[in-house]
């Protein structure tokens, strides 16, 4: 099997010749911190060798659970927020038929999401839909008390209890949570839900290859063995023994930090494949939550081209020159569709007749690359041979490994997220949560 490949040639001229080699010692030191667990956040490195530690028996169990839920459900609701749902959604959206939810005959249930927002209309509309569907719930939360998913799960559990007998309700809920503590663990043990464990040493944004991601992905009918195989091969390709200039994760970490030092403070992840929108959303959390600390960090943004060329293209071409692009380029489409000829040619497109849609897309990609580089935007290009489970598995682990290295090069702890708690404390105080009375009074004076 091939591997994803990375082209850094379009960053030349933006960073000094030889700079990538000059930073080698610093990058390899950062990589070593990961592997010898000597860096900050070293108690959250369970993801580092996770792919190769996943057993066939574990995958078999996950698939069996997915099959059980699929047989009894038209819809499976995945309840979670941030890393508890973004990884699964990234893979499912990337590899599922875009319009499969409209098919009358499906091989897998529709996977939908709850608890990723506090939208009242969204949640009410979901409950309306589920009231007339056979459904099950996969609830993902280490504590069981995170506000958004906890509210959603309370409502979904109430609906399940109205629709089904008590004995059936417990078989329609799977909890992915802490091994021994927390509100969700307590409830699951009391009610007899099937459970999977979120490892203590794996943070949410690094959890795609735990049951957090694997179970929803399997429910969607996708091949989790191939997903894991791709990740295992990338684990090998980015191991400490791999030469610096042959290791995609060390090179990506090096180049993006060098660009940052040159004032390129925003990285735009670009795709030319609409199925990759949520992969970018997962990437944004991975890098934003890992690096955005101590008034440091590259701001992660994302665009879907060519769609966003008609909205954001002008700014990228001629706006402030503080950006660089990382383009995920899928080399081959899975389907074949050609532009037809038209006898009147009123739209002037007969020059494209007989060409594949993917060829038109690729020329748009290459033309944009040249235009943006000429306009002062460095470009990193990640080539993915095909959109399938194997290559998505590679891509996930590549980004995770590079993120850990890059964070250490930047000089921050890539595995905590202390800033996330600030909004929660204010929200709790404003809602009158017990224990926040002093904060409530102080906040109301500021609003």
Residues forming the active site: 289, 310, 424
The residues pairing with 207 across neighbouring beta strands, listed in sequence order, are: none
State the angle between helix axes of 248-261 and 24-36 in degrees (0 to 180), rounded to the nearest 10. Answer: 120
Task: Determine contact, residues 213/286, Cβ cutoff 8 Å.
Answer: no
Taking the CA atoms of 29, 34, 37 and 41 in sequence, report the sign of the dihedral they define: positive
Task: Determine contact, residues 254/24, Cβ cutoff 8 Å.
Answer: yes
The C-alpha torsion from 217 through 218 and 221 to 227, rounded to 10°, is 70
The residues pairing with 77 across neighbouring beta strands, listed in sequence order, are: 112, 137
Q: How far apart are CA 441 and CA 410, in angstroms?
A: 38
The separation between CA 374 and the C-alpha centre of its own chain, rounded to angstroms, equals 31
In this structure, what token pair is assigned to residue 203? Answer: 């943070």
What is the Rg, in whole angstroms, of the alpha carbon atoms belonging to the chain? 23
Q: How far apart are CA 402 and CA 74, in angstroms?
A: 38
In this structure, what token pair is assigned to residue 121? Answer: 């209309």
64: closest CA among 196, 218, 223? 218
**Which 8-state DSSP code applies to residue 128?**
H
């Amino acid at each position: 099997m091939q591997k994803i490949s990375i082209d850094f040639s379009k960053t030349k001229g933006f960073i000094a010749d030889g700079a990538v080699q000059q930073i080698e010692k610093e990058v390899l030191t950062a990589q070593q911190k990961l592997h010898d667990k000597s860096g900050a956040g070293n108690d959250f490195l369970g993801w580092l060798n996770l792919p190769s530690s996943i057993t066939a028996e574990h995958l078999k169990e996950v698939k069996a659970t997915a099959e059980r839920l699929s047989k009894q459900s038209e819809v499976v609701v995945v309840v979670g927020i941030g890393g508890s749902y973004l990884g699964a959604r990234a893979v499912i959206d990337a590899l599922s038929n875009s319009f499969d939810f409209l098919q009358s005959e499906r091989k897998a249930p529709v996977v939908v999401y709850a608890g990723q927002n506090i939208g009242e209309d969204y949640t009410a509309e979901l409950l309306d839909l589920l009231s007339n569907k056979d459904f099950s719930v996969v609830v993902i939360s280490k504590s069981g008390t995170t506000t958004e998913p906890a509210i959603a799960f309370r409502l979904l559990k109430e609906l399940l209890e109205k629709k089904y007998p008590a004995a059936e309700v417990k078989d329609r809920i799977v909890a992915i949570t802490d091994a021994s503590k927390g509100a969700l663990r307590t409830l699951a043990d009391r009610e007899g839900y099937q459970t999977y464990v979120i490892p203590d040493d794996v943070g949410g944004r690094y959890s795609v290859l735990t049951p957090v991601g694997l179970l929803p992905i399997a429910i969607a009918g996708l091949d989790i063995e191939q997903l894991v195989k791709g990740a295992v091969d990338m684990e090998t390709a980015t191991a400490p023994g791999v030469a610096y200039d042959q290791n995609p994760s060390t090179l990506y970490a090096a180049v993006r930090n060098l660009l940052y030092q040159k004032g390129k403070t925003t990285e735009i992840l670009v795709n030319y494949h609409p199925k990759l929108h949520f992969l970018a959303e997962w990437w944004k959390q991975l890098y934003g939550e890992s690096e955005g600390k101590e008034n440091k960090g590259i701001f992660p943004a994302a665009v879907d081209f060519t769609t966003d060329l008609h909205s954001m293209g002008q700014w990228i071409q001629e706006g402030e020159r503080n950006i660089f692009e990382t383009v995920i380029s899928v080399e081959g489409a899975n389907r074949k569709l050609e532009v037809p000829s038209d006898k009147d040619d009123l739209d002037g497109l007969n020059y494209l007749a007989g060409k594949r849609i993917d060829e038109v897309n690729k020329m748009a990609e290459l033309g944009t690359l040249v235009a943006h580089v000429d306009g002062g935007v460095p470009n990193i290009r990640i080539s993915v041979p095909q959109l399938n489970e194997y290559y998505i598995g590679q891509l996930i682990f590549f980004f995770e490994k590079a993120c850990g290295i890059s964070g250490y090069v930047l000089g921050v702890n890539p595995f905590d997220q202390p800033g996330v708690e600030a909004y929660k404390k204010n929200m709790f105080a404003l809602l009158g949560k017990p224990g926040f009375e002093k904060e409530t009074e102080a906040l109301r004076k500021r609003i």
